[in-house]
Chain A
């Protein structure tokens, strides 16, 4: 397994959203679109966090529930619940995926000076998926490295499991 170079969050526009009371930021360039929650078709033999697939204008794309992914208890989906369609890169190929979050907040511009490195929790805990902490107003937003969130290892595990079963 190769340890990847950690990517530091860059100055720029971020889409912020709420997940279990916390605010997160997602680099706007990675976001393709935001859609309201729709029926997700579950797929057997896949990990729990992979909620299933949806029809995005004729294209079938996988959807990951960030709550499950981050180990937060699941909630019933509401009108506020959204799917953010992001484009990530897997094995050098672009791949479209949806992530389920509680609600979308706003798009903000975060300046370089307002981005801090994520605090170190010690070596055992890997929090690569947080590329930095953005300080906006009085609060902070965790800036997500979405590529890292849907890590190669876990995505390929899904394949592995598929293969083995």
Chain B
């Protein structure tokens, strides 16, 4: 392909000797102008020649510092490249015209040429505008036509790209050595620099030829930097280049050296050249400065990894802080705290999340002091650290605050206050050793160097002393200046130091490689399919053919399949299960805060933390748990004085326990405080109209009143609770999960709340009953008992309904046949059973035809159209593949009470027809 040859020529020609006279420029303009007029878009040879000349011209302009001219020629060069690469494109002719125009303008202005290039140049500004437009527009068009030719070119270039990629590692090694040589001032500075320049130039040429534009641009900027000897001596040069090399190497190792995006690095080097990086560098080393630049285009995944990782760390910190309050001298906890803060800091500064970085830095410094023994852990510090954790949490939970920096004034005030607090504590005692500054970076350079055996401890000490005299100098610089250690070692040490927070990150990542993140949607789908598999399997197992078969092999296989399927089912169900541990541990913090605020002493014991629950359930459990714990701490546990008066230990005890019971999990929240005040609750309930004055209520009925919205017996609303919202929330949430709340309480001994919740939201244990031809499912959790329907036990109250006398308890009865099927026929005398359920603490009975048994039921939603049915909470697929409806006991009770078992048939029909007529009328009117 001629294009290839041309390109190669182009890169080699660029290196030719350059004249220094202004006449040379004149000559160039004249020559190019002459050439460009005669060449056309199809003539690649001529175009290549022009393109080469323009490039050489550009070099000269650069050398002469004719920046204005260089700018123009640069544009010309880009335009020429486009024409060269898309000879067949219609647009190319226009661009060529544009180029011709440029050189004719330059020719006209040639008289203004002086040492600085062309300073006054008529008409060129407007030309540049058009050129810019063309470059922008053509640029995008360019990629389009690239795509069209992509197949062809890619095939041609694939081998070459591979070759290029293979050569990169050795080239990078060379570049690295060269950079370090330059830093070390080994050999002739100029020679080394030019050797490096040549290497990078070659790479740039190759990359450009292979159309790896991103990396080619990067090399171009590196080249531009190296052309300026002064820039190479500028502070940060070595770091910047080494990190760039690392960057390329990383991508190369992952196999996409050529194709990935290097624009960030390119921009950095450009900034370096123009000096824009100064402000960034003033804070810390140029390396982290450039990381921060990266952050502008933070890779989203990196960012979200950071968020989730930080959440883990925050949790570790909370636990650690709680622990350390108990054992202030436990070095291990202290270290783990330090590590967590440190890691967050490391990553946040890498991601340019300054607010997080500053905060964690302050916290970390404080912890470091304690670690070193310069300070004692005390309550003030723990509180301050807790506060900072809270702020971090808010930051992490609202990534928007982080990215936009806007968290509202309230948040900003909190943030400032905490940061100030941390700094105040730190200032409280002046830190003597300057080493602290270095310590915040993790390992100090000196430390690393000593470890590596590059220097002795005494040398480092000496250097440190020197550093105190010149605080602006880095330890590494001093060591190199003193020739104590080769610069290469220092550079390596710096790199190691920089990567240390990151290496911690990777180590946590390796632990997690045992897990695969799966979308819940996929998981649900799998579970759905497994459910179907189970049904089909049962159908086969129970089919007549199999039942009658005497084929041993077949029967054995069927049994085997049945086992495997059950196993698959239990595995797939188990996949959603996670232990309650994390949620429980979050409560430690809640208890601590409340105890603090209300001057109480409370110990929280956690039991059964390994009990597993469905992920969805655990998520929904969090809010109710917080309210329950708050309730227990605030209303339950008394103040230390009151407790001592009652003869109890001054430390209150709250126990959080989780265990299996039947098919569900019970979460028990037990406190040894006041206990519920039965009389006060009843009184309040009566005053609120929830209870009737002269009726007797059971304990559980009375206690259930506290779940009513706005119900509170607290005489005082505290900052924690007392508004009567909490218990309402608990009840609602638990109901949503098809769970139950039970309370037992004894005055002055304490109370226990039992949250009975299903293992999973997807499956319930259900009692299947038959009514007419249909089957309905009642959650086993709410079923009290079954009794035989015996005519003489049933009493009918005219106009009210039926009730059954069950060993002295009078329980209202409803006929499901009438309620659910609008069917008034009596079942033909078959034995009926009465299902007694517990709905909201009240027992009611349903007349059913037959109890079919207890099954594990996979809950399916009935879809949006039927989500608001009263008393029906969903559907379930039964053993034979048909759908049964799941009854929601509380809703069903309400529905029955409203409708009344006797006249429900008419009532329901009437309502529905009315409603439908109304809609039809509306439709007609519209």
Interface centre among A1, A44, A54, A62 (most CB of B within 10 A): A44
| A62 pairs with B884, CB closer than 8 A | no
| Chain A, interface SS category | mixed
Q: Which residues of A90-106 have CB atoms within 8 Å of chain B's CB atoms? A: 90-91, 93, 95
Instruction: Give the size of the chain A interface in residues (CB under 8 angstroms).
Output: 41
Tell me, in angstroms, the Cα distance from A52 to B531 when the chains sit together: 21
- Looking at the assembled complex, report how far the CB atom of A38 sits from the nearest CB atom of chain B, in whole angstroms: 8
Q: Which residue of A lies closest to B527 (CB)?
A: A58
| A55 pairs with B867, CB closer than 8 A | no
Q: Which residues of B866-899 have CB atoms within 8 Å of chain A's CB atoms? A: 866-872, 874-875, 877, 881-885, 895, 898-899
Q: Is B690 an interface residue (CB 8 A)?
A: no
When A1-B926, A41-B883, A41-B885 are in contact, do A164 and B911 touch as well, CB less than 8 Å? yes
Q: Which residue of B lies closest to A3 (CB)?
A: B926
| B865 pairs with A42, CB closer than 8 A | no
Tell me, in angstroms, the Cα distance from A160 to B869 when the chains sit together: 9
| B877 pairs with A58, CB closer than 8 A | yes
Tell me, in angstroms, the Cα distance from A52 to B863 when the chains sit together: 12
| A60 pairs with B860, CB closer than 8 A | yes
Tell me, in angstroms, the Cα distance from A53 to B883 when the chains sit together: 7
Q: Which residue of A lies closest to B863 (CB)?
A: A62
User: Residues of B contacting A124 with CB < 8 Å?
Assistant: 924
Q: Choose from A1, A3, A160 the contact partner of B915 (Cβ within 8 Å).
A: A160
Q: Is B213 an interface residue (CB 8 A)?
A: no
- Looking at the assembled complex, report how far the CB atom of B823 sits from the nearest CB atom of chain A, in whole angstroms: 10
When A42-B774, A43-B862, A60-B883 are in contact, do A1 and B922 touch as well, CB less than 8 Å? yes
User: Residues of B contacting A114 with CB < 8 Å?
Assistant: none
Q: Which residue of B lies closest to A125 (CB)?
A: B924
Instruction: Give the size of the chain B interface in residues (CB under 8 angstroms).
Output: 43
Tell me, in angstroms, the Cα distance from A134 to B361 when the chains sit together: 75
Q: Choose from A3, A52, A95 the contact partner of B864 (Cβ within 8 Å).
A: A95
Q: Is B821 an interface residue (CB 8 A)?
A: yes
Q: Is B561 an interface residue (CB 8 A)?
A: no
Interface centre among A41, A50, A162 (most CB of B within 10 A): A41
Q: Is B516 an interface residue (CB 8 A)?
A: no
User: Residues of A contacting B862 with CB < 8 Å?
Assistant: 43, 53, 60, 62
When A41-B774, A41-B882, A41-B885 are in contact, do A165 and B926 touch as well, CB less than 8 Å? no
Q: Choose from B870, B877, B916 the contact partner of A157 (Cβ within 8 Å).
A: B916
User: Residues of A contacting B532 with CB < 8 Å?
Assistant: 57-58
| A59 pairs with B860, CB closer than 8 A | yes
Q: Choose from B774, B870, B922 the contact partner of A165 (Cβ within 8 Å).
A: B870
| A61 pairs with B919, CB closer than 8 A | no
When A1-B926, A53-B883 are in contact, do A60 and B861 touch as well, CB less than 8 Å? yes
Q: Which residue of A lies closest to B868 (CB)?
A: A162
Q: Is A117 an interface residue (CB 8 A)?
A: no
- Looking at the assembled complex, report how far the CB atom of B645 sits from the nearest CB atom of chain A, in whole angstroms: 53
Tell me, in angstroms, the Cα distance from A154 to B874 when the chains sit together: 21
| B883 pairs with A62, CB closer than 8 A | no
**Total cross-chain contacts (CB, 8 A):** 120
| A159 pairs with B875, CB closer than 8 A | no
| B877 pairs with A162, CB closer than 8 A | no
| B922 pairs with A44, CB closer than 8 A | no
When A55-B883, A58-B528, A58-B529 are in contact, do A45 and B870 touch as well, CB less than 8 Å? yes
Q: Which residue of A lies closest to B883 (CB)?
A: A41
When A42-B821, A46-B866 are in contact, do A165 and B895 touch as well, CB less than 8 Å? yes
Would you give the 0/1 interface string for A8-48, flagging 1 where the beta carbon is closer than 8 Å to chain B? 00000000000000000000000000000011011111110
- Looking at the assembled complex, report how far the CB atom of B384 sits from the nearest CB atom of chain A, in whole angstroms: 49
Q: Choose from B863, B872, B877, B916 the contact partner of A95 (Cβ within 8 Å).
A: B863
Q: Which residue of B lies closest to A2 (CB)?
A: B926
Q: Is B226 an interface residue (CB 8 A)?
A: no
| B922 pairs with A153, CB closer than 8 A | yes
User: Residues of B contacting A140 with CB < 8 Å?
Assistant: none
| B908 pairs with A153, CB closer than 8 A | no
| A158 pairs with B866, CB closer than 8 A | yes
Q: Which residue of A lies closest to B775 (CB)?
A: A41
Q: Is B819 an interface residue (CB 8 A)?
A: yes
| A163 pairs with B926, CB closer than 8 A | no
Q: Which residues of A74-132 have CB atoms within 8 Å of chain B's CB atoms? A: 90-91, 93, 95, 124, 126
Q: Which residue of B lies closest to A38 (CB)?
A: B882
Q: Is B820 an interface residue (CB 8 A)?
A: yes
Given contacts A53-B885, A60-B875, A153-B919, 10 further A-B contacts (CB under 8 A): A41-B774, A44-B869, A44-B871, A50-B865, A55-B877, A59-B528, A60-B862, A62-B863, A90-B865, A165-B898
Q: 4 tightest CB-CB pairs across the interface, nearest first? A: A162-B868, A58-B528, A60-B860, A41-B883
A-B contact pairs, 30 of them (CB 8 A): A42-B821, A43-B866, A44-B820, A44-B821, A44-B822, A46-B912, A50-B865, A52-B883, A53-B862, A53-B866, A54-B882, A55-B881, A59-B528, A60-B860, A60-B861, A60-B883, A62-B865, A90-B865, A91-B864, A157-B919, A159-B864, A159-B865, A159-B868, A162-B866, A162-B869, A164-B911, A165-B869, A165-B870, A165-B908, A165-B911
Q: Which residues of A contact B (CB under 8 A)?
A: 1, 3, 38-39, 41-47, 50, 52-55, 57-62, 90-91, 93, 95, 124, 126, 151, 153-155, 157-165
